[in-house]
Structure 1
Amino acid sequence: MIDWDLAVRVGSRLAGDGPAVSRGEASEVVAELRGGAEKSTPLVREFTGLYAEARTAPVLVVDRPGWIQANADGFATVIAPIVGKLQEKKGPPSAMAEAIGSRITGAELGVMLGFLGGKVLGQFDPFHQAEGAAGRLLLVAPNIVHVERELGVDEHDFRLWVCLHEETHRVQFTAVPWMRDHLQDLMGEIVGQVETDPSALLSEGLSRVGSVLSGKSDASLLDLFSTPEQKTIIDKVTGVMSLLEGHADVVMDGVGPEVIPSVDQIRARFTQRRKGIGTLDKLLRRLLGLDQKMAQYRDGAVFVRAAIDKVGMEGFNAVFAEPANLPTKSEIHDPESWLKRVHG
């Protein structure tokens, strides 16, 4: 259904190479990011109280095409059950339909990956399968260099700041081993609810695209093409992701000025940068769900700080004891309700 090679080629072409750096500068950035990821492990452990063995996931410092290839591989794994459902109901497509359709969807996916490939700073992939590894950590070197230059901040502080965020995600999934399976189960439920009639799916979703384009709705493509049953499950995923992203943001800002002296300046300029984007960029961000992603960082951090203020870090860590203790989407916006439910 998707020409993955075409998606990678289109995405890589659109993303471009990033800022110009010499070979020596590139080597220094790669070495510093690898070192920052390793340095972050004890810092995250000390701040959060969560213990995760070091080096349980490979650290890959990649360029934009490398990030695009890694995510195309991940999408291919996630989408495989959906393809199976469609083929089970409709049967395999004709050779011509498959050739044309796969190139169209490959190009569309490539455009999305190209847009994201120029913006993502880092990513922890908990679902990557490799012997002896619990996921993998990706750091996108050209994007990190581009943003640190644009913000005019201390490059060494900024690189460690990014590493702290992504290392926190590694710790979350390694110190809390059920988290990966829990999210995978939720994703499986979403796939199980997929509408296998493409015409019905498209007619319902496209009827609402106009509302987004006209500014009457802030829904993402995921919202537009989701059934009510899927949206219920997506709300659960949103609650979990808001927790994880907010927790990582609190860690990256809270490790302390002794380690990142300019952390307050970095946060202020990084937050301001998000506001200074053009109309087309805002539309694409809305359609791809990036506005919702930014809300996860913001709302999740507010939840985490509120919980820690009330019950301390150890009390907050009850959130990682079992799936039942995870906050719902509504509890993210009402930390008191989570505290009453979990801590009485």
Structure 2
Amino acid sequence: MDLSRSVRAIAGAADPPDGVIDWDAVAEAAKGGCEPGDLRMEPAERAAIADDVRAARDGLREASGVEFDLPGSIEVQHRHHWIDANVDTFRRVLRPLDDTVTGGGVPGVARSLNTGTMAVTVAFLARNVLGQYDPLLLADADPTDHGLYFVRPNIREAAVELDVGYPRFRRWIAFHEVAHAAEFAAAAWLPGYLEDRLESGIASMTDESSLLELASPGRDGSGPIDAFADLNTAMTAVEGYAELLMDRAFDDEYDDLREKLDARRQGGDPITNLFKRLLGFGMKRRQYERGAAFFSTVADRTDLRTASLVWERPANLPSDAELDDPDAWVRRVA
């Protein structure tokens, strides 16, 4: 790590004339907060990764009955590559906050604090993310040109930490991320739905009256809480269905991988666990667990085709209550 690089970047964030966050400084500071990791690969490993992705595509096509193509961009990255890609994503997603800044902009000290907080967050994520399917929400790119990223240093280190073979673990991660590609192919409406909920929640939070409403117990059912609640429910379905698909499609034993990775998600030293709580990792784990339990129950009691009806239209998404009562969802949808 180069913490002096991080400090210099954050200190310089007071210089830009406007914007609540200096995103260039976020990227620079986050890179100072973590080593990039080793990306040197022999041709055999590159070929094996390509085979993992193709096998995942073919297995998931067969399991889901959905014909889909792989994302337009598939990258094996180190941590600094991941930082660059995701800083661009955060910049797009949080752009509505900049639109609310008028006049003299944000005071330099506040901008530096915002920038520092975001840099610490991005650096922490860069050290922990294994793979990522990126639907490029709020991007101007072709909506079908999504991204698929594998953070090789993190996958290798996690395989050692979990005491599992790197090739098998890497392949399992590939099946999970490619499962997301199958979901988004099955539901052409999904990116637009997520974008709408995301934009509505962020835009509402920048409005003073909505912030007052946020604290009011007499809400009428509209506002940022509802937008983010809808987003959380949808992402629970996204993660849960991907877990179901990868388990049905994976071409090897995986019980030990699941058990050890779940333990890793819940474990960690006190500082790491603090960051996980602050960044909502507990909610993310809950999404995996709750969504997986929902779809596993639906598929076991009916079949995978019935579970796949969730992507037929937005109205088929389970409600928050139905996530805990799969039979109610089956009665309503199937």
- With normalisation by structure 1, the TM-score equals 0.82
Match of 2:65 among 41, 49, 53: 49
Match of 1:58 among 73, 89, 96: 73
| Gaps in structure 1 of 5+ consecutive residues | 206-226
Q: Which residue of structure 2 aligns with residue 119 of structure 1? A: 128
Q: RMSD across aligned C-alpha pairs, in angstroms?
A: 2.5
Task: State the shift of 1:15 in Å.
Answer: 2.4
Match of 1:154 among 165, 188, 208: 165
Q: Which residue of structure 2 aligns with residue 106 of structure 1? A: 115
Q: Which residue of structure 2 aligns with residue 265 of structure 1? A: 256
Q: Which residue of structure 2 aligns with residue 215 of structure 1? A: none
Task: State the shift of 1:172 in Å.
Answer: 1.0
Query: Deviations 1:129-185 (Å, cap 9, x if unpaired)?
Result: 435843111111111111011111122111110001100111111232111111111
Q: Which residue of structure 2 aligns with residue 222 of structure 1? A: none
Asked if residue 248 in structure 1 is aligned to residue 263 in structure 2, the reply is no
Distance of 1:263 and 1:139 partners within structure 2: 19
CA contact (8 A) 2:71 2:148 kept: no
Distance 1:315 1:133, change over 3 A: closer
Match of 2:229 among 235, 258, 263: 235
Distance of 2:85 and 2:30 partners within structure 1: 12
Identity of aligned residues (%): 28
Query: Deviations 1:75-98 (Å, cap 9, x if unpaired)?
Result: 1111112221x22xxx2325xx55
Q: Which residue of structure 2 aligns with residue 218 of structure 1? A: none
Distance 1:133 1:236, change over 3 A: closer
CA contact (8 A) 2:70 2:181 kept: no
Task: State the shift of 1:272 in Å.
Answer: 2.2
Asked if residue 7 in structure 1 is aligned to residue 18 in structure 2, the reply is no
SS of 1:2's partner is coil
Distance of 1:316 and 1:55 partners within structure 2: 22
| Gaps in structure 2 of 5+ consecutive residues | 1-19, 216-220
| Residue identity matched to 1:194 | M
CA contact (8 A) 1:30 1:141 kept: no
Asked if residue 335 in structure 1 is aligned to residue 330 in structure 2, the reply is no
Distance 1:131 1:235, change over 3 A: closer
Task: State the shift of 1:280 in Å.
Answer: 2.0
CA contact (8 A) 1:37 1:163 kept: yes
Task: State the shift of 1:301 in Å.
Answer: 0.3
Distance of 1:182 and 1:118 partners within structure 2: 30
Distance of 2:224 and 2:142 partners within structure 1: 32
Query: Deviations 1:174-208 (Å, cap 9, x if unpaired)?
Result: 2321111111111121123123459x969x99xxx
CA contact (8 A) 1:239 1:329 kept: yes
Distance of 1:11 and 1:31 partners within structure 2: 31
Asked if residue 83 in structure 1 is aligned to residue 98 in structure 2, the reply is yes
Distance of 2:284 and 2:65 partners within structure 1: 26
Task: State the shift of 1:67 in Å.
Answer: 0.8
Query: Deviations 1:191-246 (Å, cap 9, x if unpaired)?
Result: 23123459x969x99xxxxxxxxxxxxxxxxxxxxx98312221211111111111
Asked if residue 190 in structure 1 is aligned to residue 201 in structure 2, the reply is yes
Distance 1:29 1:196, change over 3 A: farther
Q: Which residue of structure 2 aligns with residue 39 of structure 1? A: 55
Asked if residue 321 in structure 1 is aligned to residue 312 in structure 2, the reply is yes
Asked if residue 17 in structure 1 is aligned to residue 36 in structure 2, the reply is yes
> What number of residue pairs does the alignment pair up?
307
Distance of 1:322 and 1:13 partners within structure 2: 44
| Residue identity matched to 2:275 | L
CA contact (8 A) 2:78 2:153 kept: yes
**Which segment drifts farther, 122-131 or 186-195?**
122-131
Q: Which residue of structure 1 aligns with residue 274 of structure 2? A: 283
- With normalisation by structure 2, the TM-score equals 0.84
